[in-house]
Structures are given as structure tokens and as C-alpha cells.
Structure 1
């Protein structure tokens, strides 16, 4: 591999590249490294993205460290090359090499979206500061929350529509009585015919959460019998135990996080925190002595969460402190 190509590789991979992209990229490198045609293709994509010349920075040592740290490639064949149309400025260097590896990047109304297309399906990835709306092959609509991943086949063949989720998504499933729709996560499997529900299962959390908006769903958790939910019901399964929680809720507190503007009208403080958890992808730990009966009216747009909490603290006697991805709410 030439020094110029190494510079491109190092520049690309030192961005915040998702693990899935790293794996696709490493797969391409393992298969094509040293090939003159592949290097020409890499340079062509770089120049086509109008990223300017590759500077002769001292990348040699960092490149070797980079290649050692990247995840090993899967045994699947590298996908075919794809061309990139429009790129966010912060993703442009990533996109130049991603095109060679068969990764497609794009911008949606809700932020940056990333598509990975291995041979047997499609990965959709949202970043830590982006959400996205997607339509599956059967017409089912999916809204992905921050930092989420969805895998689905390019077509739903056979007698089952099956997808896999890590993160949070709101599903509006097209009804097909002959072909159930199934969502798999690491803690819970959900099966429906046609319905609307919110499912949350991040790997860093110790629980998975299912809230039904309309229709009916059947959920199966490890070591438990299947549970059927009705609208406005919530099921929580815990990662380190066989315990599950089942309760009645207002589903509207769980299914509005995808809207650009969200109005909370005369809402109890506990419900406000539920909405904020899903809108900002955070976890609240609320002390027992915090009064949650207060009712608030808020209009949420794109404000930082700290501004919202500061505004709440002006009218409700609370303090907040963030630590390790959790926001602790205490009485003031």
C-alpha cells in the first residue's frame, strides 16, 4: 500500500467511525490491500468527493497502530461499490473511503444516517446526535432514535418479516396476517401482525422496554412465557435477572420523541421526565423525596437538555447532576 493511500486510510479511520463501518473497511483492506486497481479506486473516490490533496503528514506509525486496533473483518465477502451523493461536512472524509467499501452515507430531515449493505441485508445506523425515519421493504415505517442500529433483509421472503434492533425505535407495522413481523433484541423478542409500538434496548442499559401504542403485540423474554400487551401497556425485561415489570402507562409519553417540536401540556413532572428520557436518550435517577405531582407546560424543540432542566428547576425545587450517562434528580 502506497504512503498516499495510507494517509487516506489513517485520515478516514481517525474520525468517529462506527464499528460496523470499521469492519466493512477492514474487510475491503484485507481483500484488496496492495492491489493497484483498488488503490486507484480509493484515490478516485477521494478526489471525486473534492476533499483536496492528501498531505504528506507523518501517518506511518499511527497507521500501523490503527490497523492493529481496528476490528477483524468478518468472513463475508465485501459488498459491491456504491457512490455517494451528498455528504455532511463532518462525514466527508469517511464517505470517500466508505464508497469503496459499499457503505452509503446520507442526510435526512432528522440528521445523519448511515446505511451498510452486506450481501444478505441492510444495516441502518444513527449517530449519537441524529435520528432517522426509514421505510422497510413491506412499507413498515421505522423511526430510529439516537445511537441506534437496525438490521433487515432487502426483501421479506418466506412466511416471516424479521428485523434486529439495538437502541430505540418506533415501529408502525403494515398489517399482513399471513406474515407476522418480528423484532429481535438482546433481551426481548416482539411479534406483531400490524401495530404501532416503541421498543428500547441499548446494550449499555440493564433493561429492555416495550410500550404499545395501538394494536397488540406478543413479547417473549428469556426464561419467561410470552406476554400479550394491549394499548397503553409497558413491559420491562431486565438483563441480569429473569424479572419483568408490567404496568399501565400513557403511551403518548413514549412515542413523540421523533417530532422536531414537542408540546407537553399541563403534564406531571414524572411524565415530563419520561418524555425527556426518550427525546434526549438519557436515563434519569429520581430520588424518592422529589415531588412529582407538579404539572408543567413545555415546548421542546432543539434546546440542550441542560436548558430544559434549568427551566424546570426555576419552578420545581430540584437539583440535577449528570454522571456516567445518568442524570440524578434530587430535592432542593
Structure 2
């Protein structure tokens, strides 16, 4: 695909006329622009240099009538030999450009994450919901949720901490069982023929074809039988909270704990970096339960308890003493 054809596809997308076949065609072209494994293998310094310079250079290339042959040769050789420093920025720029353009062309496209046996993989969805995917499982989800309901598909087991949004219900499809929530935390485990749902906080509803809807409250569990198409509440909730949350950052309760120990826990859970503007904050003690709270709510609770103020800039958080009025 040359750049003229690419522009045509972009124009069709903006007019709402891009077909599924053309979307695949576009993604295949973008796949040819970069090598993700090569990108990940590069030194951090080269990655950072490309982030600030390579993207703009590649955008400028799009305005040309055709893709220069020399660029094609550079990318081809980079797949067969060790990456030379002279082409590193081109490869990185291509990889970043592919993902940036896809986010424009198909922001709600589906993607997937998987976890291996004995491992837990965490992912923060576009709405701020956190998913801990447990061993041998797969989650299919949109890169960015649209204006309707937030819908994902689960195979296996995962612990969900769903961001509260009453206007956009969160739905998990697990076989023919649908779990609907507004903002809560719960665990789902599916074996293919049976799905068990355990609620930690909030309220959820379970529904399936030819089965009555069931509401679950905190500390309640239910099991859905796929062959029988039946949902039943478990009378003996034998699965403990500790067992369901083991290996995750879900538990965020602190009792007289130094902020120096609290901050790393928050950073790990939300994938952020917290900058304490005053070193004395590290020694402050805090007693609070941030479990099932969003990042913003967590920082608001800390600020109120310790008379601080904060500012969130992307994944960076500034936490400092509140100015006296």
C-alpha cells in the first residue's frame, strides 16, 4: 500500500465508510512498518530519543506521494540482522506510528491479553478498571471503550475491580453467562462448562439464556452450569477473600503505616509514579482502607487525612503539603 492509498483509507474512515476488509488491509500495512520485538530489544536511551523525534519524522513522510525505497530497505534489513544504531529511530518511529494511527482509525478495536499457568497478569482498562488475569486465561476487550456499555469477554479466571460509572454498565461475557456491574469488585472463574462468580464489594447481576436473572451482594457466590443453562446461588461460600485476591494488589488497607511504605503499594497497583514534594511526608502515618477505590479517590483520601494536595499528570502524581490560606 502506498501513501496515497493510505490517505484514501483515512478519508473513508472519517466519513464513516471504512469497511472491515479495508480495516484489515490498513492494519496489515501498518504491521509491515515496524518490528515490535526489535523495538523492545533496544536500549532505553534510543527508545526515548525516538519518542521525541521519530514520530514527527514519520508523519512528515506520509505527506509524500510514495514511500521511499530506502525506508523499505532499512526496515527489511532490520528484520534479518542485528539493529544498527542508524536505523533504530526509524524502527521505533514505525512501531509508535502504527499504534498511534490505529488509535485514530479504530479506537474501539478489540485486543486481547493472556496469562500463563501459575502467573497473574494485571491490566488497567481505558476506563480505569483493573483486571488481574489468572493462570491460563484470556481477556478480550476494546482498546478504548465506546459511548455504550463497557463489554469484555473472559476465558478462564480473573479478579475485576470495576471503575464506577452508572451511565455505562460493565459487562463480562463468559460463555453464555453475562455478568453486569456498575462499579464493584468480584472474581470470575470459568472452566468452560461451569462458571463461578464471587462478589467482594458492590452488587452484580448474572444472566443467561433460559435462566432467571440472579443478583449477588458482597460475600455471595453463584455458579452457572453451561450444559444445564442454570444459575444457582452457593449456600456455602467457601472461597475466602484472601484466596481470591492472592497475588494481586487488591488489598489496600493500612493501619498506622508510614507513607514511605504506602506509596510503593499505590504505585504498583495503578502503574504510576508518585513524587513526594516534601520529604517529611514519607514519615507520616496513615490508617485507611483504599481497597476498591480509584486512583483519584485514593489520592483524595490521603490528601484529606494528611492535609496534603495532589496533582495528577498522566502517570505522574505530585503530592505536597497544602498551602496555608
Q: One fold, TM greater than 0.5?
A: no
* TM-score of the pair, normalised by structure 2: 0.45
Greater fraction of residues in helix: 2
TM-score of the two chains, using structure 1 as the length reference: 0.44
Larger radius of gyration: 2
